[in-house]
Structure 1
């Protein structure tokens, strides 16, 4: 049985050593906290801010669009239809809002890293 598991599709099966599973996933805190300064100073870190901000704005626009389309259906609905519209609104918020907030927090961390790099190197402080 072991040879079957180890040789699935011709790929070797990595052994688990002493209960420690060696996965390829990075730690969430290690990914969220940048360990290096931006490559080219202040302008080098701007793509790290713009990407998550763009993602958060797109998700915010999608949330508003879905909520508006659900509200447009509300006046024509009966009591059960109104309840289903409200449940749909809650599902939209519960599903998409955490991702929008996560993107915003990622942009905020990147901006703080840029600001911290500027303070460390003396950029933007008005010093000659």
Structure 2
């Protein structure tokens, strides 16, 4: 099977749609079992999450009654190599720390079990003014 950057873009669109709506059931399928994310906060502190910790983060926000997050994205790069892919983009939303921020994201994907799954995310949070 030949994968394309359009496949990664479609997977990203699904991820953004489901994550911004706090759909934890869908995120269980989208995030790989070995998922790991690193958040570099504006003060340079670092927070990391496993798959279950990150899904718990989304579940907590849903239980608190949070509404849909901003879905805005600025796409910078897509790359596919066999069963792996990556996307670099900038997002704007408040889901990581409660304050609307710019998020520079590097998201790595793996095609496994008949679907694209997020393996790793590196997210750098910056104030909207930067």
Scaled to the shorter chain, the TM-score interval is: under 0.3
Q: Which has the higher contact order (CA 8 A, sep 6+)?
A: 1
More strand by share: 2
Of the two, which has the highest radius of gyration? 1
Q: TM-score normalized by structure 2?
A: 0.19
